[in-house]
Amino acid sequence: MDVVLETVFNLCGTDLLPVAIPLLIYWIYRSRKIKNDLKGKVVLITGANSGLGEALAYVFYTAGCKLILAARRVDQLERVKSDLLKLNAESETFEPVILPLDLSELETIPQKALEALETYKQVNILINNAGISFRGNIVETSLEVHMKVMCVNYFGQIALTKALLPSLIKCNGHVLAVSSIQGRIALPFRSAYAASKHALQAYMECLRAEIPEIKVSVINPGYIKTNLSVNAVTGSGEVYGVLDTSTEKGYTPKYVAEEILRAVIMEKKELIVSPLLPKMAILFRILTPSLFFYFIRLWAKRKK
């Protein structure tokens, strides 16, 4: 500790020490909190087979959590589990548990929640990460597509949350919903997706207000470099099959996962992981909605 203080003194000089020392104390506290607070916590991650879900599995596994990895593709979950077990973690780790789960099959979700609880008797942290994206215009998009996207991105998420709620309340647990910037502002040609994320955002805000025994965090990322756009559905229900340029230039899943880990540790109610422009757009939407809608309409015309 003396060596660290001496280094700070040399770097900052005496004038900045009143600021540097409190920051140093906070940094040490925060580092220890990261290492200790999550050890042994049971974390259920949906959509853990790839992309952001896989990255979340890595960061929570190395933090010493007991993972329940949930997704439809069991073979991919097995791959993620195998990769995790090969890691040389600095602290004690636990072998992940695999839970086959299809959020579109709403009637099976209560039983799947029971299976998760049978493993560790509780779930401390639920990360609602699984989801499906959409590309298409409103006129040509079938109602069935809207229902499919809403089922996975909204009804499936709240069905799992409700099924695990008694356990989460009992252990003062934490619910995370991976929403999107489009949970705050809607973009053209994303109607089904944006609507589902708006709904999820609203539900989680109500959940936070009504049940103070649990913590609720809504994560609103911008573009993440995953296959989300490739696997998106179109207005006819077909697979989009294209990696959008904006998605390709997005944040890495690892970066977003680490930000989410910090949000859990610091118990943030909401986290926006995006460049400055989307954050400004959210503020713009609140302060000058008419002007915001005008520019969004111009943007939509260029995209047609």
Contacts 24+ apart (CB under 8 A), 248-251: 249/223, 249/225, 250/222, 250/223, 250/224, 250/225, 250/226, 251/221, 251/222, 251/223, 251/224, 251/225
220 DSSP β-pair partners:
272
Helix axes of 156-170 and 191-210: crossing angle, nearest 10 degrees: 20
Q: Which of 61, 154, 193, 203 is catalytic?
A: 193
d(CA 79, CA 95): 13
State whether the Cα torsion 217-223-227-229 is positive or negative.
Answer: positive
29 counts as catalytic = no
* CA–CA distances in Å: residue 184 to residues 70, 131, 180, 199, 272: 27, 17, 7, 10, 10
End-to-end CA distance of the chain: 61
DSSP collapsed to 3 states, 250-275:
CECHHHHHHHHHHHHHCCCCEEEECC
Residue 71 · residue 77 · CB < 8 Å: yes
Please give the positions annotated as active site. 193
